[in-house]
Chain A
Amino acid sequence: MSALEPVVTVEELTFFYSGAKEPALNNINLTFQRGEIALLIGATGAGKSTLYMCLNGLIPHLVPGRVGGRVLIDGSATSDQSISELAQKVGFVFQSPDVQLFSHTVREELAFGPENLGLPKSEILRRIQLAANTIGINQLLEREPAYLSGGQQQSVAIGAIWAMLPEILILDEPTSNLDPQSSARVLELIRSLNKEHGKTVLIAEHKIDAAAQFADSVLVMHEGTIAMQGEPRHIFSQAGELHELGLVAPAAAEVAYQLSKYGYTFDRWPLTPEDAVQAFGELL
């Protein structure tokens, strides 16, 4: 991460769905720095989806309800920007790519976003090529998305968002339907979009073992609030607190937590199996 420059600022954000007595989001304050990868975790119903909708402007523009506080994207409030303006800044990739993909060819899929922005044809063609090159799906351009593997479909879904050139990418459990190899490839792709192109990434995952190691920060949501936030090693060293929220830490951190109950301590809390081998090896 280079010099700190907030790209998303959430201030005292509260949201009630139309007719709801309890807020879905309750006084949330957050900042994402440009070029950061933030990992979002929380049990089902903690408010993750509602938060995404606040970031891409579906709230307040389309979803009925009552909003308090504000969300700033690149310094201006989402309430002052149209959905299509926001779509160029915040890209959202769904959990199941088959929900998002509907075209007959991958090429059409990549063209859809830029076409809807009303871009000239030459720019649309440039965006298609750019997305295909960056995501590495050139060889799939003429294929029908429905017949691709799960991992390829997820790459196409990310490509379709990439063609809009958003500054911020939100990915909702992008690997939940993929086998381990495809998951690793999709996570690697996300990491390279972040590292090589400086995009800010917000990723929600239940499978935290793989995601924990490349996140710069972790946000823990619980009942519409941000219950914990900080660096991965800090958050995942608090397994006891996570358990109370119905969550777990990566396996390496969980085992370290159990060992800590026997009085063993760790200078650098293990997150990955490699960390754990080193940390436990030192004890032995």
Chain B
Amino acid sequence: MPSRHLGSFSNPLENILTDQAIIETRNLSYSYPGEISALSGVDLDIRPGEFLAIVGSNGSGKTTLVKHFNGLLKPSQGHVRIDGLDTRSTRVSELSRIVGFVFQNPDHQIFAYSVWEEASFGLKLHKLSAEAVEQQTSEALRAVSLYALRDRHPRALSRGQRQRLATASILALNTPVLVLDEPTTGQDFLSRRQIMELAVELHAAGRTVLMVTHDMALVAEYATRVIVMREGAAICDATPKEVFENDEVLESTGLDLPPVAKIARGLRAYGISETTLTQSELVETLITALRH
């Protein structure tokens, strides 16, 4: 995806050029009304510029955790601070300027009558000038290749296109943090690649990207840090390579190694010691070994 489309997104960090956590949770616990605990004692520091994956089986607390980052949920105990603001005493509208949240199912998010209206809705709420709304909406729609379809009704889009529209409407807000909940579910290979290339570009331009996902190939390929959730607790905080080498964590959470890491593990018997994370890494490792 051409980077010229990301012009005004290039410096979202101008106000937070510190090493201080942009998201901080302390002893975060949460129980849904009438239910047992969904999160217990989560301590996390997420710094600007991280590309973080949050993984774990269904019901492990991933989505409950990230919903605390834009104030959709407030802690039952403990604290969540977003760019220093305690989420308990900060309006959701304020937090939504910092953390943009792209939902898994675009249809839970999309409601407007045209692509343009949908993508610009949040900006209008932020009371920006008409000119800024125009510019940020155009750039967001171009970034997801939907600008040409700006007058369409969202219902006339394919599921993959609606997912990209949901992403655009959050991109337009130009938030320093982006949360992507299962960004590639139900997407074919090309859309998956397009979504992830966009995430990589936004990350390179200085955004903090958090993705919640079951797709370990995605984690292996893109994340710089992984938080593994189990029964409401963050049980592991490490690099993808460290997680995929940690048998105890893998077994206790039922996480599946990405196929490439599985192959590399099987090849240990043949003298390959590297835990490779991507296909090209594995090919390179094999070619090097074969030539010796």
> Which residues does A use to contact B, with CB under 8 Å?
42-45, 95, 149-151, 173, 176-182, 206, 209, 246-248, 250-252, 254-255, 258-259, 262, 264, 273-274, 276-277, 280-281, 283-284
B67 interface hit (Cβ, 8 Å):
no
Q: A95 touching B186 by the CB < 8 A rule?
A: yes
* B266 partner, pick from A251, A264, A274, A283, beta carbons under 8 A: A274
* B57 partner, pick from A45, A179, A274, A284, beta carbons under 8 A: A179
Size of the B side of the interface (Cβ < 8 Å), in residues, is 39
> What 4 pairs between A and B have smallest CB-CB spacing?
A277-B266, A251-B259, A273-B262, A180-B256
* A177 partner, pick from B159, B185, B190, B280, beta carbons under 8 A: B185
Chain B residues contacting A151 (CB-CB under 8 Å) are 58
CA distance A149 to B57 in the complex (A): 11
Chain A residues contacting B260 (CB-CB under 8 Å) are 251, 255
Q: A251 touching B58 by the CB < 8 A rule?
A: no
Beyond the given A206-B188, A262-B287, A284-B289, please list 18 additional residue pairs across the A-B interface where CB-CB is below 8 A: A42-B188, A43-B188, A44-B158, A95-B186, A176-B186, A247-B188, A251-B217, A251-B263, A252-B263, A255-B263, A259-B286, A273-B263, A276-B266, A277-B269, A280-B263, A280-B267, A280-B270, A284-B272
- On whether A246 and B186 interact (CB within 8 A), knowing A44-B159, A251-B217, A276-B263, the answer reads no
Secondary structure call for the B interface:
helix
Min C-beta distance of B265 to chain A, whole Å = 8
User: Which of chain B's residues 200-240 have a Cβ closer than 8 Å to chain A?
Assistant: 214, 216-217
Min C-beta distance of A253 to chain B, whole Å = 10
Chain B residues contacting A251 (CB-CB under 8 Å) are 217, 258-260, 263, 279
B283 interface hit (Cβ, 8 Å):
yes
Q: A43 touching B267 by the CB < 8 A rule?
A: no
Closest to B104 in A: A177
CA distance A182 to B258 in the complex (A): 16
B12 interface hit (Cβ, 8 Å):
no
Q: A176 touching B185 by the CB < 8 A rule?
A: yes
Cβ contacts A to B, 22 pairs, < 8 Å = A44-B160, A44-B188, A44-B191, A95-B186, A176-B185, A180-B255, A182-B58, A206-B187, A246-B189, A251-B217, A252-B263, A254-B279, A255-B282, A259-B286, A262-B287, A273-B266, A274-B266, A277-B269, A280-B270, A281-B266, A284-B272, A284-B286
Q: A43 touching B189 by the CB < 8 A rule?
A: yes
Chain B residues contacting A277 (CB-CB under 8 Å) are 263, 266-267, 269
Q: A284 touching B214 by the CB < 8 A rule?
A: no
Q: A149 touching B263 by the CB < 8 A rule?
A: no
Q: B58 touching A150 by the CB < 8 A rule?
A: yes
CA distance A66 to B86 in the complex (A): 60
B33 interface hit (Cβ, 8 Å):
no
Q: C-beta contact mask, B231-255 vs A, less than 8 Å → 1, else 0?
A: 0000000000000000000000011
Closest to B160 in A: A44
Q: A273 touching B256 by the CB < 8 A rule?
A: no
